[in-house]
Amino acid sequence: MLKFCFVVLVLVSSSSAFASSAVDLVYSDLKFEVPGEFSVIGDAGGNQNILIFRYSDQRGKRFLAFSDMTNDETIDYGCPSYVFFSKVFDLSDNSSCNDDNIEIMRDTFVEGRDVEAWSINDYEVVYSGSGKKSYAFIIGNYGKLLKIDSDFLGIEAFRSILADL
């Protein structure tokens, strides 16, 4: 009986030691704490710099995606990408950026959305959320620009993910 109790105690303590509700992730030289218990991790590969966590068995549902947009050349920003997004969220006043594209991005990420900004260390974080999709932009003073998006997480979850930035 003593052996049985010891085995049960070891199994219970070891399973709780390995059960984690969060996982540390280092992406683009920054540390994040992502929710655990994801079902799939995917990397878009190539020069897209996209890492995706899926928390569902259905493709395209309940995801968390990280994109490094620091050197993104898919859009004519007219200025460095981190300066462009700073202007989208009214964090800077750089006139060399492409104003037409800034208005398009404001329509996408600002108009009709809950937008909040805060600072963590050397980074400005801007959260843009609606009922269907949420984004966090991490804008660094040294040119870094990351976008995190999800279809199921809200602002408090993003604050938790970014707490150790």
The region of weakest confidence among 18-27, 74-83, 115-124, 131-140 is: 18-27
pTM: 0.84
Q: Which residue, chain included where needed, has tokens 């870094």? A: 144
Radius of gyration of the chain (CA): 19
Tens-place pLDDT, residues 103-122? 999 999 999 999 999 999 99
Query: Interior CA angle at 4 toward 3 and 7, to 5°?
Result: 85
Residue 5 pLDDT grade (very low, low, confident, very high; cuts 50, 70, 90): very low
Domain boundaries, given as residue ranges, for the chain: 19-161
Query: What is the CATH number that goes with domain 19-161?
Result: 3.40.1000
Instruction: Give the ranges where 29-131 is alpha helix by DSSP (H).
Output: 81-88, 99-109
- Closest CA relative to residue 53, chosen from 61, 42, 44, 45: 42
Dihedral sign of CA atoms 123, 61, 25, 43 in order: negative
Tens-place pLDDT, residues 15-66? 334 445 899 999 999 999 999 999 999 998 777 789 999 999 988 899 999 9
